[in-house]
Amino acid sequence: MTQIQPELTEDIKKYGAFDFTACYNCGNCTAVCNLTEKNSNFPRMMVRYSMLGLKEEILSSKELWMCYACGECSDTCPREAGPGVLMSNLRRYAIANYEKTGLTRLMFKNNPFFIAITLILAVVLAFFLLTIKPDTEVARWLFRYVPYEVLHSFGMGAFALMGLSAFVGVVVMWRHIGKEKKIAFTGEFFKKAVNAAKKVIGEVATLKRYQNCDSDSSIWSKKAVWLRPWFVHWTIMWGFIGLLVATTLDFIFKDPATTIWWPSRILGTIAGILMVYGSTVALNYRFRKITKTYANTLMADWMFLGFLWLAGITGFWLEIAVAMGADLFINHVVLMIHIIISMELVILFAFSKFAHAFYRPLALFMHNL
Amino acid sequence: MEIQQETCINESLYDVLVIGAGIAGEESALKLADMGYRVLLVEKEPSIGGKMILLSKVFPTLDCAACITTPKVSETARHPNITILTLTEVEEIVRDTKNRFSVTLKKKPRYVVEKDCTGCQECEKACPAIVNDQFQFNLTARKAVYIPFTIANPRVALIDIDNCLLCGACEKACPSNCIDFTQKEEQLKITAKSVIVSTGFKLFDPIQIERYGFGRYKNVITSMQMERQLAPTRPFNNILRPSDGKVPDKIAYVFCAGSRDHTVGNPICSQVCCMYSTKQAQLLMGALPMADVSLYYINIRAFGKGFDEFYEQAKDMGAKYVKGKIASITEKENGNLILRYEDIATGKVTEKEHDLVVLSVGILANPGITRVFKKERLETDALNYIRQTDLLQSPAITSIEGVFAAGTATAPMDIPDTIMSAGAAATETSSYLARLS
């Protein structure tokens, strides 16, 4: 049964303030979009859902994740109702609703809370880092009361909670969209799933649909490829994945490789360059507010991009410091920051904007089923 | 007429100065002149008549626009109490100590002695300089010496000196010897007891909406260009699309081109586009019985007397109304155009091919006149229309005492509303003049 909840409009607005209720249903947004397909028409549909408060329809919309926020719909909207901004808004809303602990909801709606939780996490992480060496002052004081193993398992617990939340989120999303799409696990399913997975991998590798966003009328068509949003996104995404692989390799071989020619270090360097480039350009666009999309930057965006950028910059600092063999106090501080930032990114993975990294491919997968 | 004009200028005291000789200005001037007031009617164009005189027919009655407006134009032109100055702009209006307005006018040279010209058009034939005809909205060309349009009033030639080659061919061809290159810009000073501002509106220039390709795609035209093709004094005697002169058979209307659109700075409804497009659709279906006419709209605003019936009539005749704003237009190699929109009825993005696209362009304010008022400020509203300071008392009252506003200078409106507004301005002016004496 469809239930109309007009009060939901106000709740949705809390995920980023603007007036989508100005919409007069002309359909301009849907038609200027290069990514709308025969069986997926957005953003006007999402505007209607939001105005009527059709929560179930919003949460079961794979269309939310078909959009890459090029912002052309917002730029050309005759009512300045910001349909593209609403799409980003609803993605935040969906992430907050798929994630069942309520932490994401609080962080997205409440900036002071977001900052507070980031800072508290940083302090806790710093504390952990200072206690890793059992002969420090802090450690000696602490271990008198709490055994090292307990602290260690707290950390593990945090990771487990993140993993569980991500898993629950995926299941919840699957159930919402699956009900809408009426996905049945028949013999056909496996074949379709392989096909859909291929398409998703292809999209992740090339961002082919995202490339369609640079329409002739957008400002991007006149800019060089390496300045276009899809490429910037590609560098951040593959930079991060590359760094993740490099770090894992380092971890497996138990050697934060001192030589820069070590294969995992070469991978790390290249990936780092990509990520720092991408996040620098993206932050620059957001500071300069070059389109309506970039002008509408919320705390979640600043935090996510800022953390990626900081992690990349501190990583390079350390690489240079290690190569030069400089054992300075400042380098230890940078190492500390680097680890805290990286850990925060991982721990908040399921609770932040970062969560789109698994929701979006899943939605694309289901769309192609 | 000319004799009377000269005496009046010499006397230089008028009861009313009417700025702008479109239908609003003419109507106000006629009403006041009939009451016995002496009126000076100033027009910056070479002919009076404004925009209505260029239209094909009027909605919802489908009366011929020229047939309705030309009697009014002639009556205005030969009324003993009305003095007309064409090619004249107001430079300055200041209230003097006797509660009158000192007015400075700038009369541009016509380079043709108005009273001697017979309108024979021999000069036009002789002139070698060809330029776009602004009164046909660039559909055709005219000469550098020209009579503005067939039913212009006064029907006398003028020289467009910016495009003139100064070859003197017209001078030789003129049988009445009325070409005079020695004319200079004149400054006239008159006094008026009251002022009516009836400066009308500007049409939206769709070149601003890049996605519609106006100016780039030849077969995307404005509704005014279509209006000319449908008028009795039409240039081609047929409906032709610009790229190849083909008679179109799949015509699209794009509603709200420059109206109800924040991105072009005009968020309000222009009041007339729905209806004039509906009228043009009916006329097109009459002119081209085999043609399909599709009209893409956001909402149909058929609010006036007989409007909704008129809209229903168009639908019954076969006009196809599609709810959905056109998001973009792309051109094919053969000049046909692909229109992309979301069909609101089905919720699907749709692309349709048409061979001629008419942009139903909106109405914008024309606020230049506010600059001529010195010492006192003629206030405008948020969209630059003249502010009606006491709308409930009278729509004609402005922020300056003794200055009244008529017609589309105050807001977008259709012809019947303009006539009413002009009547209100005339009434308000006469009561002000009575109070003054």
Query: What's the complex ipTM?
Result: 0.86
φ/ψ of B349, rounded to 5, equals -70, 130
d(CA A184, CA A253): 44
Tell which phi-psi region holds residue B96, choosing left (phi > 0), alpha (psi between -120 and 50) or beta. beta
pLDDT digits (tens, 9 = 90+) for A146-197: 677 776 787 788 888 888 989 999 999 999 988 877 777 777 888 889 999 9
Q: Does B342 touch chain A (CB under 8 A)?
A: yes
User: Between β-strands B250-257 and B292-297, what pairing exists: parallel, antiparallel or unpaired?
Assistant: parallel
pLDDT of B378: 96
pLDDT at B339: 97
Do B19 and B130 have their domain in common?
A: no
Nearest CA distance, A40 vs chain B (angstrom): 8
Q: What is the pLDDT of residue B11?
A: 61
Cross-chain residue pair B348–A79, CB shorter than 8 Å:
no
Nearest residue to A34 via CA among A154, A281, A165, A211: A211
User: Residue B365: beta bridge partners?
Assistant: B201
**Per-residue pLDDT at A82 exceeds 70:** yes
Q: How confident is the model at residue A332 (pLDDT cuts 50, 70, 90)?
A: confident
Q: What is the mean pLDDT of residues A40-59?
A: 89
Torsion of CA B279, B284, B286, B292, to 10 degrees: -120
CB B104 within 8 A of CB B91: yes
**Is B298 at the interface with chain A, CB within 8 A?**
yes
Q: Are residues B321 and B420 in the same domain?
A: no
How many helices, marked H, and strands, marked E, lie in chain B?
A: 9, 23
Rounded to the nearest angstrom, the minimum Cα separation between A351 and chain B is 34
Q: Is the pLDDT of residue A257 over 90?
A: no
Closest CA to B50 of B135, B108, B146: B135
Which residues does chain B have within 8 Å of residue A75's beta carbon, measured at their own beta carbons? 263
CB atoms A31 and B325 under 8 Å = yes
Q: How far apart are CA B85 and CA B2, in angstroms?
A: 11
Q: How far is B362 from chain A (nearest CA, A)?
A: 14
Model confidence, pTM: 0.89
Which of A136 and A179 is assigned the larger pLDDT?
Answer: A179
State the number of CA atoms in the 13 A half-sphere of A58 facing the CB.
29
Cα R_g (chain B), whole angstroms = 23
Instruction: Give B422→chain A minimum CA distance, Å.
Output: 32
Assess whether B117 and B63 both reside in one domain. no
**Cβ contact A31–B261 (<8 Å):** no
The pLDDT value recorded for residue A155 is 76
A31/B263 CB distance under 8 A: no
For the segment A126-135, the average pLDDT, to the nearest whole number, is: 73
Torsion of CA B10, B13, B18, B19, to 10 degrees: 60
Identify whether A43 is preceded by a cis peptide bond (ω within 30 of 0): yes
Q: Which residues in chain B have their CB less than 8 angstroms from residue A26's CB?
A: 256, 298, 324-325, 344
pLDDT the model gives residue A256: 58
User: Which residue on chain A is closest to B269 by alpha carbon?
Assistant: A78
Q: Is the pLDDT of residue A86 over 50?
A: yes
Please tell me the distance from the alpha carbon of residue A356 to that of residue A171, in angstroms, as a whole number.
14
Closest residue of B to A79, CA-based?
B262
pLDDT at A191: 86
Q: Cβ contacts (< 8 Å) between A71 and chain B: which residues?
A: none
- Name beta bridge partners: B216: none
B353 shares its domain with B416: no
* Cα A230 to Cα A192, A218, B32, B79, B87, distances in angstroms: 27, 13, 67, 70, 56
B298–A24: do the CB atoms touch at under 8 Å? Answer: yes
Specify whether B312 is located in the same domain as B215.
yes
B269 touches chain A (CB under 8 A): no
Give chain B's domain count. 3
* B262 → chain A, closest CA residue: A78
Of B337, B363, B389, which marks where a domain is finished? B363
Closest CB to B347 among A41, A76, A79: A41
Nearest to A291 by CA among A278, A280, A301, A282: A282
pLDDT at position A350, please? 85
Topology classification of domain A8-98: Fumarate Reductase Iron-sulfur Protein; Chain B, domain 2 (1.10.1060)
Q: What is the mean pLDDT of residues A299-310?
A: 92
Any chain B CB within 8 A of the CB of A80?
Answer: yes
One domain, residues B335 and B394: no
* Residue of A30, A75, A79, A222 for testing the chain B interface, max B β-carbons within 10 Å: A30
- Is the pLDDT at A333 greater than 90? The verdict is no
Chain A contact set for B267 (CB, 8 A): 78
Enter the CATH code of domain A103-157+186-368.
1.20.950
Q: Are residues B265 and B214 in the same domain?
A: yes
A322 vs B372, residue with greater confidence: B372
Strand partners, B329: B339
Query: What is residue B48's three-state secondary structure?
Result: coil
- Quick one: tokens of B171? 């001078």
Task: Flag whether pLDDT at A3 surpasses 80.
Answer: no
Which chain A residue lies closest to B346 (C-alpha atoms)? Answer: A41
Q: What is the CATH number of the domain that holds B132?
A: 3.30.70.20
Q: Is A32 on the interface with B (CB under 8 A)?
A: yes
CB B136 within 8 A of CB B229: no
Contact yes or no for B263 and A25 at CB 8 A = no
Distance between B387 CA and the closest CA of chain A, angstroms: 24
pLDDT at A201: 93
List of residues 6+ apart from A324 with CB closer than 8 A: none
What is chain B's pLDDT, residue by residue, as a tens digit (437 residues)?
343 444 445 468 999 999 999 999 999 999 999 999 999 999 999 999 999 999 999 999 999 999 999 999 999 999 999 999 999 999 999 999 888 999 999 999 999 999 999 999 999 999 999 999 999 999 999 999 999 999 999 999 999 999 999 999 999 999 999 999 999 999 999 999 999 999 999 999 999 999 999 999 999 999 999 999 999 989 999 999 999 999 999 999 999 999 999 999 999 999 999 999 999 999 999 999 999 999 999 999 999 999 999 999 999 999 999 999 999 999 999 999 999 999 999 989 999 999 999 999 999 999 999 999 999 999 999 999 999 999 999 999 999 999 999 999 999 999 999 999 999 999 999 999 999 98
Nearest to A303 by CA among A85, A105, A112, A82: A112
Structural element, H or E, at residue B41: strand B39-42
Contact A41 B349 (CB under 8 A): yes
Contact state of B342 with A24 under an 8 Å Cβ cutoff? no
Tokens in use for B242? 């610009």
B169 & B190 share domain: no
B343 lies within 8 A of chain A by CB:
yes
C-alpha–C-alpha distance, residues A107 and A209, integer Å: 30
Residue A357 DSSP symbol: H
Write down the residue that tokens 């349709």 correspond to. B352
Tokens of B159: 């020289």
Q: Does A292 touch chain B (CB under 8 A)?
A: no
Q: Determine the Cα–Cα distance for residues A171 and A176; give it in Å rounded to an integer.
A: 9
In the predicted model, what is the mean pLDDT of residues A241-262?
77
pLDDT at A1: 61
Distance CA B241, CA B249 (A): 10
Give the residue from B336, B363, B390 where a domain finishes.
Answer: B363
Mutate to test the interface with B, among A24, A26, A74 (most CBs of B within 10 A): A26
What is the DSSP pairing of strand B130-132 with strand B141-143? antiparallel
Residues B100 and B133 in one domain: no
The residue with tokens 């005492």 is: B401
Distance CA A190, CA A186 (A): 8
pLDDT tens figures, B377-394: 999 999 999 999 999 999
Q: At B342, which CATH number?
A: 3.50.50.60
By C-alpha distance, the chain B residue nearest A46 is B347
| Closest-CA residue of chain B to A80 | B262
Burial class (CB in 10 A: 0-12, 13-18, 19+), A39: exposed
Among B310, B328, B363, the domain-final residue is B363
- Cβ-Cβ contacts under 8 Å, B343 against chain A: 27
Contact B324 A32 (CB under 8 A): no
Taking CB atoms and an 8 Å cutoff, what residues of chain A touch B340?
A: 31-32
Asked whether the beta carbons of residue B262 and residue A80 sit closer than 8 angstroms, the reply is yes
Name the residue among A24, A36, A75 with its Cβ closest to that of B349: A36
Per-residue pLDDT band for A254 (boundaries 50, 70, 90) equals: low
Interaxial angle between packed helices A356-368 and A83-98, expressed in degrees from 0 to 180 and rounded to the nearest 10: 100
- Supply the mean pLDDT for chain A: 86
Chain A residues with CB-CB distance to B326 below 8 A: 31
Q: Are strands B88-95 and B82-85 parallel, antiparallel or unpaired?
A: unpaired
Residues of each domain in chain A carrying CATH 1.10.1060.10: 8-98
Pairwise CB contact (< 8 Å): A78 & B348: no
Tokens 């009076």 -> residue: B48
Provide the domain limits for residue B142.
109-184
Q: How far, rounded to the nearest angstrom, does the alpha carbon of residue B301 sit from its chain's CA centroid?
A: 22
Predicted local confidence at residue B187, as pLDDT: 94
Using left for φ > 0, alpha for ψ between -120 and 50, and beta otherwise, residue B173 falls in alpha
Same domain, B225 and B353: yes
Beta strands per DSSP E along A16-145: none
Is residue B120 located within the same domain as residue B154?
A: yes
Q: Are residues B338 and B376 located together in one domain of the fold? A: no
Delimiting residues of CATH 1.20.950 domain(s) in chain A: 103-157+186-368
Phi, psi of A23 (to 5 degrees): -55, 130
**In the block, which residue shows the tokens 């501002």?**
B197
